[in-house]
Chains A and B, each alone.
Chain A
Amino acid sequence: MTTPQIEHPKELLMIEEDPKSKPYFINVLIRLSKNKSALLGAAILLLFTIASVFAPLLATHPINEMNYGESLAGPSSSHFLGTDEFGRDLFSRILYGGRVSLLMGLVVVSIAGTVGVLLGVIAGYFRKIDIFIMQCVDVLLALPSLLLAIVIVAILGVGLTNAMIAVAIAVIPSFVRVVRGSVLSVRESEYVEAARALGVKNHKIIFKHILPNIASPIIILATLEFGSAILAAASLSFLGLGAQPPNPEWGALVYVGKSFLSQAWWMTVFPGLCIMLVVLGFNLLGDGLRDALDPRLKL
């Protein structure tokens, strides 16, 4: 008598797949597409991303072209958002500034996310060094993040790159905390225990079993922190510690505009409005993702 060959473990468990069931990712997208606020957030972000990517095509004037005859001119058909003290076109400068601001957010979240996830996983999985890492995180969390970023910029020196590094360092503790918490709950799951009992190596357990299962809180946090990072970096530029004029980063534009507030309100209002809209977009999308990825957390 021959033993029947088992093609797939599902046959052994006699699991019948529902032909109508959709992959998890598709379900998340369907839930997300039903959330009007999240769609609004995504639309805002898409608009700003397209505007930044195609800035060279959309800009109506060269960003550093000075025209003293038109300095501090209000919004008009030739200058949609007015001009600055050198007669430079604000609309074109804001378009290019969007590239800097969005890039800052991306770099900050990439650095903070990578380091934070790594430290969070180490703290959550290898309990012997957990106390040390979490004590360091507690110390950093005892300092308001913007204040921490200001001191780090003071050490590294004023400038765009250093501002990004400073904000990233200040954001790392949030990632460590969230990731560690998620790892702690997942590492006790039966499938992780089973993998450990089968002798699967730690790095394989982390990358194959733990990380995919804690992806939701990481995605949500990264989306929300993207907006916060843009806000913090803009605040540093506004304090004169981040991007320096003539760089058209939005915070730096507001910094310049405040000196001309009574004569040229557009220099302050429009770049600030762009920061607010982009951060709002990330917050709306982040909230939507939280509801879609983890419906239990729905507010």
Chain B
Amino acid sequence: MSSYLLKRVSSMALTLFGVSIIVFLMVHLIPGDPVTYILGDFATEDAVNKLEAQLGLDQPLLMQYFSYILGALQGDLGTSYITGYTVWEEILNRIPVTAQLALYSVILGTVFGVLLGVLAAVKQNTIFDRLAMMIALVGISAPGFWIALFLILIFSFQFGWFPISGYDGIYSLILPSVTLALGSAGNIARMTRSSMLEVIRQDYIRTAHAKGANMYRLIFKHSLQNAMIPVVTLIGLQFGYLLAGAVVTETVFALPGIGNLIIDSISTRDIPTVQGLILFIALTFIVVNLLVDVVYTMLDPRIKYE
């Protein structure tokens, strides 16, 4: 296991190195000059040169990359051109909202998706199965921004139960979490159903059933635990979907999270913030996938990594 982890971590480092190069190049290709954005169109040449030197923009691109990557390795992702805060401060300011949003969405999506999948598998080829799978497919197919607006229309405008936008504690995260959860619940439900169908055909389930095992115990203890292995992979993968979905959802609900910050930073050409945020998201995504692999061994002790 430890040699496997070492191998994975080194491959992770290589991927992150690649991400850093691609993101650095891409962000520098975004048209527009940050200096002009900060100083305005009528700044003197002297002021422009001074700011360029201060931001390190007068250096060749390769030098800029090396100084960036050296800083990043020491935990310094640079300073925002716009707010003057370090990128870490920006991330730490925004992460609580996005982390809560992701957490609630994962919980809601998993609970709803697994229940829907189990119902479909247990009632295979019945109206419940078809209905559950149709709900799952609709959840996958509906655009997140549309679901968000639909929920606002019903629960904010019609009933006035939830705020339309802005962050004001957990209450204001209910609609955004439901929006994000619906998409991932659909995928989780489909995977749970197919995985459960495979497990409930196994001999040990038939034996337990023949011995008169309690139905509830048979489904949730014997079948679901073993059916969860591929589902856990999917939940890990859904995390990436949630991070991307958060960009759209946070925009619709005007939430001060990471997703909203990315859109703002791109529009203001705040290079260090865009770079730092994308690297942070890639790192989070890769680490979550590694953790998923580790969780496998807990769910199924037969899985051994070499």
Contacts and interface: CB of A to CB of B under 8 A. Distances in A.
Interface string A254-287: 1001100110010011001101110110011000
Contact of B137 (A135, A138, A275, A283): A283
A272 B150 contact: yes
A258 B244 contact: no
B145 A142 contact: no
B29 A155 contact: yes
A152 interface: yes
Contacts of B248: 146, 235, 238-239
Main SS at interface, chain B: helix
A139 B19 contact: yes
Main SS at interface, chain A: helix
Interface stretch (B35-43, B93-101, B189-197, B213-221): B189-197
A147 interface: yes
Given A155-B26, A280-B137, A275 B143 contact: yes
A261 B193 CA distance: 37
A258 B31 contact: no
A265 B153 contact: yes
B255 to A, nearest CB: 15
Contacts, number: 129
B18 A147 contact: no
Interface stretch (B2-10, B44-52, B170-178, B281-289): B281-289
Contact of A151 (B14, B26, B241, B286): B26
Contact of A268 (B30, B149, B240): B149
Contacts of B19: 139, 142-143
Interface string B128-160: 000000000110111111100110110001000
Contacts of A142: 15-16, 18-19, 282, 285-286
The number of chain B residues touching the other chain, given as a range, is: 35 or more
B81 to A, nearest CB: 15
B144 A262 contact: no
Nearest to B14: A135
B224 interface: no
A140 B25 CA distance: 13
Contacts of A145: 244
Contacts of A262: 153, 157
Interface in A225-254: 227, 231, 234-235, 238-239, 251, 254
B247 A146 contact: yes
A248 B73 CA distance: 47
Contacts of B150: 268-269, 272
Interface of B: 14-16, 18-19, 22-23, 26-27, 29-31, 137-138, 140-146, 149-150, 152-153, 157, 190, 193-194, 197, 240-241, 243-245, 247-248, 251-252, 262-263, 266, 274, 278, 281-282, 285-286
19 contacts: A138-B15, A138-B18, A139-B18, A142-B18, A142-B282, A143-B19, A144-B241, A147-B247, A150-B266, A152-B26, A254-B146, A258-B149, A265-B153, A268-B146, A268-B149, A275-B142, A275-B146, A283-B137, A284-B137
The list of the 6 closest CB pairs from A to B, nearest first, reads A272-B146, A144-B244, A139-B18, A146-B244, A280-B141, A279-B141
Given A147-B243, A151-B23, 16 more contacts: A135-B15, A139-B18, A139-B19, A142-B15, A143-B282, A144-B281, A146-B245, A150-B262, A151-B278, A227-B141, A231-B143, A254-B143, A276-B138, A276-B141, A276-B143, A283-B137
Interface of A: 135-136, 138-140, 142-147, 150-152, 154-155, 157, 227, 231, 234-235, 238-239, 251, 254, 257-258, 261-262, 265, 268-269, 272-273, 275-277, 279-280, 283-284, 299
